[in-house]
Amino acid sequence: MKLQQDLHTPGEHADQEAPLAGYNFAYLDESSKRMIRRGLLKAVAIPGYQVPFAGREMPMPCGWGTGGIQVTASLIGKEDVLKVIDQGSDDTTNAVSIRSFFKRTTGVATTTHTKEATLTQTRHRIPEEPLREDQLLVYQAPLPEPLRWLEPSEQETRVLHALEEYGIMNVKIYENIMRHGTIAMSFDYPVRVAGRYITSPSPIPRFDNPKMNQCPALQLFGAGREKRLYAIPPYTEVKSLDFEDYPFTVQHWDEPCAICGSRTSYLDEVVLDDEGTRMFVCSDSDACQATLAKKLAREAAGKDTSEASDE
Amino acid sequence: MNSSIPLLSARSLTKLYGEHVGCQNISLDLWPGEVLGIVGESGSGKSTLLNMLSGRLAPTSGQVVYRSTDCALSRERHATTTQDAPNDNTNATQCREIDLHALSEGERRRLLRTELGYVHQNPRDGLRMRVSAGANIGERLMARGERHYGRLRATALEWLDRVELPRERVDDAPASYSGGMQQRLQIARNLVTSPRLVFMDEPTGGLDVSVQARLLDLIHRLVRDMDLAVILVTHDLAVARLLSHRLMVMYHGHVVEQGLTDQVLDDPHHAYTQLLVSSILQG
């Protein structure tokens, strides 16, 4: 997909490619970046543990991804290729503005293709394309504490984490089954990382939870308002919580994506009018385009061969 | 179980709040299946003593030894022996002496939700008010590792029956219950793991007389059926007479008199106990 901001070819606007004058590379000053990287090192060393950090003010409100942006800013280098996803899409407001923010403050190359990206900042989705060892995934996490629903005190939740007292997490799941007859948490579905810490996967759909397990890429989470960092190192066991008689499942759809026809990706429901017409389309716009391109190529090839056989 | 060995022993427990005495130099033994009542006026140190006995409050000096025989605990302890193995001497038999205040916080909390129970005076302190009754009853089981919804639910319903709560209220939050029902639910929540010793702090406080009577009946029955040891703190002598086998009378942080309940109440020796007994309205 080509976006307006990506249309400028290098050289044409050489001044725009250079980092914004008067600002440090990637906006944050180097000592702040180092502080965040220290926090991240600790987070990687203790998978799933929430590391407090001195969150900085970013030029956008909390809730827009200030945590993820600080993590990205502290890690991004000149050689990186950045991709930003918002709800799976590369072209929504949040994704576009964060991408242009980093383009202006670092001058690094940006992409919408998961394969090409070395650093992907995401909000609420994991790309459909499997990630590789040389890629980084940075999540924007609004509420890093999975126990908050039952325990309002931060002091108490820290004790519960420290002592591994996770009975109350299952109380939440029990309540869910009691109310809905099934585990109805469809996003931010709590996971246990490396058999130890119960962790919020950020509000990704539970469809994406299995992708976190044994993922080759390093997954980093930044919560700007709550000022917490946590991480899931590569090839770490990530287990979604459940009951023996109500095992964890992912969402399923009865129909394929209306655009590309994929049956394996996460679909968004789009309401088309007020008479109940709706369509289901891939939430991952890049994967959708790729599948569509493949499908068209296959159809074209099919046409070619059929035309060839006609002759 | 050898009933000649006390379940819980306290030796010279003292708690000082600065200059002020919480309670001073208190020793007691509690045998399995026994109900010990602690009575005294407000501010006499009853709750301080109860909190120290249950391990929730560290004493200024003295020791609380609890004899645990639960295999489940030994198994759990086995997993964490590295942390506090030196703190308690492990006997060759199943009976292990545990110094409650030498345990790590994690161990103590685990003990408090498996072998011990604590019924608060105010059900709001002992219940999760915003989750359903079923989840409240199941929480201790889930903390112990139960991960089967069907079984949890069956247990919750069974316990609602046992504490005489209607089954159809299993999905309601305790916030919608009456005071007496909340107290029953709190008892069910504590007894679901079949503890051996339950601490009760004024379990009938704040309830009207008829509800009190039914709750006392219920506690009486459960204690007998489950062979529970109970330490009961109350300022209500009628409650103490009905439930407890043995009585301790506290006054200004000291135990002034103790003995069998009927003996203490029918033939009080200490001036304060005499005052206490004579101040009951005679019906």
Catalytic pick from A88, A215, A222, A260? A260
Tell me, what's the pLDDT at A45?
97
Q: How confident is the model at residue B68 (pLDDT cuts 50, 70, 90)?
A: confident
Q: What is the pLDDT of residues B82-125, one digit of tens each?
A: 344 444 444 434 567 888 898 888 888 988 888 899 999 999 99
Catalytic annotation present for A282? yes
Q: How many CB atoms lie within 10 A of CB A297?
A: 10
pLDDT computed for residue B160 by the predictor: 95
Task: Write down the pLDDT at residue B171.
Answer: 94
Cβ neighbors of A233 (< 8 A, separation 6 or more) are: A44, A47, A218
What average pLDDT does the segment A64-89 reach?
A: 94
- pLDDT value of position B94: 58
Query: pLDDT class for A18, splitting at 50, 70, 90?
Result: low
Q: Do B109 and A163 touch (CB under 8 A)?
A: yes
> Distance between CA atoms of A148 and B269, rounded to whole angstroms?
54
Q: pLDDT tens-digit profile of A281-307? A: 999 999 999 999 999 999 998 887 766
Across the interface, whether the CB atoms of B105 and A159 are under 8 A apart is answered yes
- pLDDT of A17 reads 56
- Counting one residue from chain A and one from chain B, the pairs whose CB atoms sit within 8 A come to 57
**Interface probe with B: pick from A176, A182, A243, A246, most Cβ of B within 10 Å:** A243
Task: Report pLDDT digits (tens) over A48-73.
Answer: 999 999 999 999 898 899 999 999 99
Model confidence over A102-137: pLDDT tens digits?
Answer: 999 999 999 999 999 999 999 999 999 999 999 999
- pLDDT per residue over B152-176, tens digit each? 999 999 999 999 999 999 999 999 9
Please give the pLDDT value at position B279. 82
Instruction: Tell me the pLDDT tens digit for each residue of A158-193.
Output: 999 999 999 889 999 999 999 999 999 999 999 999
* pLDDT band for position B4 (cuts 50, 70, 90): confident
pLDDT of A272 strictly over 60: yes
Lowest-confidence region among B128-132, B149-153, B205-209: B205-209
Three-state DSSP string of chain A: CCCHHHCCCCCCCHHHHCCCCCCECCECCHHHHHHHHHHHHHHHHCCCCCEECCCCCCCCCCCCCHHHHHHHHHHCCCCCEEEEEECCECCCHHHHHHHHHHHHHHCCEECCCCCCCCEEEEECCCCCCCCCCCCEEEEECCCCCCCCCCCCCHHHHHHHHHCCCCHHHHHHHHHHHHHHCCCCCCECCCEEECCCEEECCCCCEHHHHHHHCCCCCEEEEEECCCCEEEEECCCCCEEECCECCECCCCCCCCCCCCCCCCCCCCEEEEECCCCCCEEEEECCHHHHHHHHHHHHHHHHHHHHHHHHHHC
Q: What is the mean pLDDT of residues A3-16?
A: 51
Position B209 scores a pLDDT of 86
Tell whether the model's pLDDT for residue A42 goes beyond 50: yes
Q: Is A257 a catalytic residue?
A: yes
Cβ separation of B139 and A177 shorter than 8 Å? no
**A175/B131 touch (CB, cutoff 8 Å), yes or no:** yes
Output B49 or B83, whichever has higher pLDDT: B49
Q: Is the per-residue pLDDT at A23 higher than 60? A: yes
Mean residue pLDDT of chain A comes to: 90
Q: Which residues of B touch A (CB under 8 A)?
A: 105-106, 109, 128, 131-132, 134-135, 138-140, 142-144, 147-150, 152-153, 171
Report how far residue A304's alpha carbon sits from residue B244's, in angstroms, rounded to the nearest whole number: 94
Task: Return the SS3 of B88.
Answer: coil
Residues of B whose CB is below 8 A from A150: 128, 131
pLDDT at residue number B78: 43
The reply to whether residue A167 touches residue B140, judged by beta carbons under 8 angstroms, is yes
pLDDT class for A5, splitting at 50, 70, 90? low
Q: What is the pLDDT of residues A194-225, one digit of tens each?
A: 999 999 999 999 999 999 999 999 999 999 99
Q: What is the pLDDT of residue B5?
A: 85
Of the candidates A11, A63, A257, A302, the residue annotated as catalytic is A257
- Please give the Cα distance from A201 to A205 (Å, whole number): 9
Give me the amino acid identity at B99.
Answer: D
User: Residues with Cβ < 8 Å from A13, sequence gap 6 or more?
Assistant: none
Q: Average model confidence (pLDDT) for chain B?
A: 86
**pLDDT (average), residues A257-268:** 92
DSSP-derived 3-state class of residue B239? helix
What is the rounded CA–CA span in Å between residue B236 and residue B242? 10
Chain B environment of A158 (Cβ under 8 Å): none
Residues of A with CB under 8 A from a CB of B: 150, 159, 162-168, 170-171, 174-175, 177-179, 242-246
- C-beta of residue B240 within 8 angstroms of C-beta of residue B263: no
Whether the CB-CB separation of B237 and B39 falls below 8 Å is answered with yes
Percentage with pLDDT > 90 across chain B: 57
CA–CA gap between residue B153 and residue A246 (Å, rounded): 13
Mean pLDDT of B58-63: 93
- Report the range of poorest mean pLDDT among A1-5, A117-121, A272-276: A1-5
**Catalytic residue list contains A260:** yes
The pLDDT, as a whole number, for residue A40 is: 97
Whether A62 is catalytic is: no
